């Protein structure tokens, strides 16, 4: 008695875009289940931003000058947009480390043997990281309210604008996870991915409008800060939150921060997703 075995097709039938979306969601679900079984990942991810909130608010708050104000309350409301933005961008390191770990353990090779869209592995991972970032941002917003931060402290805002601000933050975080994905595919170990994912984030987040008034910077450094994609999202978030701003600036991203934030984030996603998927294909070829 003979047995006939059908070969698994190289690609599943159906619409390519629909198949890619389905495969991406399956991979995202797999990563979310994995994250739920390691709760310390979320807990440790929350500790750092909470520490930044407490340290900047109570240690530096009384000595910072925003425009002409030295009020600790003004600095507290000014600060939170920067803390929110820093938190979502620091997810880059965990994204890169997770992908590097999957590469190191050979999991990527197993995904490669399945009839699935090639880009779905990376897209699913970044979507799962986006969900984790959203949960972290929610908890951080509660902490910010507890220490005295309020939207609308420098004017009028509404629920729609507040939600739009958080949407811009998550879009920036998602864009930066694609940078982390490229780093994770490029290095050889998860430890290297963590270091590589953090080392460039510090100048990006601190040479910006996040924590200090750039009006006090030297002119050349101020120009860099004003054209920093991170600064655009921070400024857009402040505008939507109606929180204290900074010294007037003639730079286009600072005059139109919401548009600048959208353009920068979409551009980063397009460029680094293309590079990451290309690197993934060459790494598993």
Indicate whether this model's pTM tops 0.75.
Answer: yes
Determine the pLDDT at residue 67. Answer: 60
3-state helix/strand/coil string of the chain: CCCCCCCCCCCCCCCHHHHHHHHHHHHHHHHHHHHHCCHHHHHHHHHHHHHHHHHHHHHHHHHCCECCECCHHHHHHHHHHHHHHHHHHCHHHHHHHHHHHHHHHCHHHHHHCCCCCCCHHHHHHHHHHHHHHHHHHHHHHHHHHHCCCCCCCCCCCCHHHHHHHHHHHHHHHHHHHHHHHHHHHHCCCHHHHHHHHHHCHHHHHHCCCCCCCHHHCCHHHHHHHHCCHHHHHHHHHHHHHCCCCCCCCCCHHHHCHHHHHHHHHHHHHHHHHHHHHHHHHHHCC
Q: Of the given ranges (66-70, 97-101, 220-224), which has the lowest mean pLDDT?
A: 66-70
Q: What is the mean pLDDT of residues 144-158?
A: 82
Q: Please state the rounded mean pLDDT for residues 146-154.
A: 82
pLDDT the model gives residue 248: 60
What average pLDDT does the segment 199-205 reach?
90
pLDDT for the residue 9 = 40
Tens-place pLDDT, residues 231-252: 999 999 999 998 876 656 778 9
Domain boundaries in the chain?
A: 20-283
Tell me what pLDDT residue 266 has.
97
């Amino acid at each position: 008695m003979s047995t006939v075995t059908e070969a698994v097709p190289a690609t599943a039938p159906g619409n390519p875009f629909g198949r890619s979306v389905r495969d991406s969601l399956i991979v995202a679900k797999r990563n979310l289940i994995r994250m739920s079984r390691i709760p310390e990942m979320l807990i440790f991810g929350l500790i750092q931003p909470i520490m930044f909130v407490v340290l900047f608010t109570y240690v530096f708050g009384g000595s910072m000058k925003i425009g002409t104000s030295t009020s600790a309350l003004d600095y507290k409301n000014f600060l939170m947009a920067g803390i929110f933005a820093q938190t979502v961008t620091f997810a880059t390191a965990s994204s890169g480390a997770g992908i590097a770990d999957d590469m190191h353990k050979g999991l990527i090779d197993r995904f490669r043997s399945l009839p699935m869209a090639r880009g779905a592995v990376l897209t699913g991972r970044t979507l799962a990281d986006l969900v984790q970032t959203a949960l972290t941002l929610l908890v951080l917003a509660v902490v910010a309210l507890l220490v005295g931060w309020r939207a609308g402290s420098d004017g009028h805002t509404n629920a729609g604008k507040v939600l739009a601000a958080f949407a811009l933050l998550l879009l920036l975080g998602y864009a930066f996870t694609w940078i982390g994905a490229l780093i994770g595919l490029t290095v050889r170990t998860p430890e290297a991915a963590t270091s590589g994912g953090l080392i460039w984030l510090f100048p990006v987040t601190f040479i910006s409008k996040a924590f200090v008034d750039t009006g006090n910077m030297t002119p050349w450094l101020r120009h860099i800060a004003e054209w920093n994609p991170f600064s655009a999202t921070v400024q857009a978030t402040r505008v939507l939150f109606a929180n204290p701003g900074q010294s007037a600036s003639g730079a286009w991203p600072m005059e139109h921060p919401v548009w600048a934030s959208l353009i920068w984030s979409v551009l980063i996603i397009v460029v680094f997703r293309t590079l990451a998927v290309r690197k993934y294909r060459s790494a598993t070829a």
